[in-house]
Chain A
């Protein structure tokens, strides 16, 4: 279905990544927001607060991030597309209820404008240190989706994708910006509403008496009934059966947890968004994401001028990790070079996937700044020696 024109601010804008994320959410149909202000994500909340009165949305500033996350889960069950935005410390507080969202299979979007950590770390400065927390931050086994933009324009575009994935797969989607993208102002073009594809909610077509909230077909994704539609059902964070009632048996846990993981992991190809460039004949491949991928462009260009055959892989979908795509490249190259603003989180994932078939060279950077492109260039030159 197409976007509701009421929420789409069609035209060219000069806005930052946070504002672009807010506009993407509103264009995607988000009409409920709960959050607690935290640098560097607050601009997104402010934008939503100022725009929601004109589109019929509900904005609540909650007492903290635990409550914010709980509120968006409730609102999503109430039939509203919902989101929250935060940064590292708030993301930590949201973890328990993100797990609840995964377990209850609630579509919603959590944007994390990453700053340097740990703890309160560097409130106004960039980091990409929450990438593994996005994957594993809540307890228990689960699969989740996370996307990373490299510009304000992508912040707009991919927030829509995040909402669409969350509705399609019934899972909280983590939108992993960083302070640099969030606070960077550039031109953002918002297309007309009729050019924006929106994933509608998977509503059941069964009558209330026949509906089981966690019954699934081959696609392993249950249909929803929003609160107020006349369906009576139960949902819980406890291990539950198809009726949504607690069933603490080993069999039920095995079936449920496998399904929660399989519904995402069986569709990695559909969820993967990846940008590849000059892969054929590449000696080494620079693999990165977000602002680090963007900054690496300069290093790649310089290396190519020196005659080095550098390919490029930019991950937009970070989780589920595009294992197959990366593993098949490993046979043909000397090394993956992985710059990121953390001490080597995704590079370890690459190492795991290539399983020794080629080198993996981490180019770490602590929070607070982006890489000097020269440092990445040196890593490329070292790798081809």
Chain B
């Protein structure tokens, strides 16, 4: 569990649901987890292009400076988003990428990289559109920053009427994918030992 103030950036193509992801995280934190979350977002052409982003500060204390300076968590769904935003992250950052779209280079040993086939998981549900919510499920499991319960409630409150079930399944599948891959990795480590 991450403590204290955390800075998050989500980046991807305009239309991938980057901004909705921000709303889902922010609503989960502030309304269902009772912490503070201040979100700012990119405006202008970049918000419609390939490095659309939201930036968010999450804290148990009041947030006075609203802008993210160096994210502790970076969620990436476009190559340009990675190129633009990876250099700014902290030395101990957690980086979560959509593995079929983003191919990160070498990262620092102190940083953690997670990869998630969110597009494929979303396609299995018949709607590629929900890849952002798959990423959120994966992020929730990987970081343990926000409670699963709060994220589920927030998704229900944030997605269009009639798509709640699909989005919750997308969330669950992303969440489960992280846990399965973690178990596999632990199993592998055990057998190697």
Show the binding face of A for B, using Cβ within 8 Å: 12-14, 39-40, 123-124, 180, 183-187, 291, 294-295, 297-298, 370, 373
Q: From B23, B40, B62, B67, give the contact of A14 (CB < 8 A).
A: B23
Q: Mark B9-36, 1 if CB is under 8 A from A, else 0.
A: 0000000000000110011001100001
Q: Is the interface of B mostly helix, strand, loop or mixed?
A: mixed
What's the Cα separation between A298 and B31 when bound, in Å?
Answer: 25
- Main secondary structure on chain A at its contact with chain B? mixed
CB neighbours of B30 from chain A (8 A): 12, 14, 186-187
A60 to B39, CA, bound (A): 30
CB contacts (< 8 Å) of B88 on chain A: these are: none
| B173 contacts chain A at the CB level, 8 A cutoff | no
Which single member of A123, A185, A370 contacts B65 (CB below 8 Å)?
Answer: A370
A12 B44 Cβ-Cβ under 8 A: no
Is A39 within 8 A of B43, CB to CB? yes
Assess whether B36 is in contact with A187, with CB atoms less than 8 Å apart: yes
Taking a contact as CB atoms under 8 Å apart, the answer to whether B44 and A185 are in contact is: no
Determine the residue in chain A with the shortest Cβ distance to B67.
A370
Cα distance, A186 to B31, chains bound together (Å): 10
Find out whether the CB atom of B65 lies under 8 angstroms from the CB atom of A14.
no
B22 contacts across to A, CB distance below 8 A? 185
Determine the distance from Cα of A10 to Cα of B36 in the docked complex, in whole angstroms. Answer: 20
Whether A124 pairs with B43 at a CB distance below 8 angstroms is yes
Within 8 Å by CB of A298, from B26, B38, B39, B65, lies: B65
Interface pair B23/A185, CB less than 8 Å apart = yes
How many Å from the CB of B65 to the closest CB on chain A? 6
Closest CB in chain B relative to A292 CB, distance in Å: 11
Residue among A12, A14, A40 having the largest count of chain B Cβ atoms under 10 Å: A14
If A12-B31, A373-B65 touch, does A186 touch B43 (CB 8 Å cutoff)?
no
CA distance A370 to B65 in the complex (A): 9
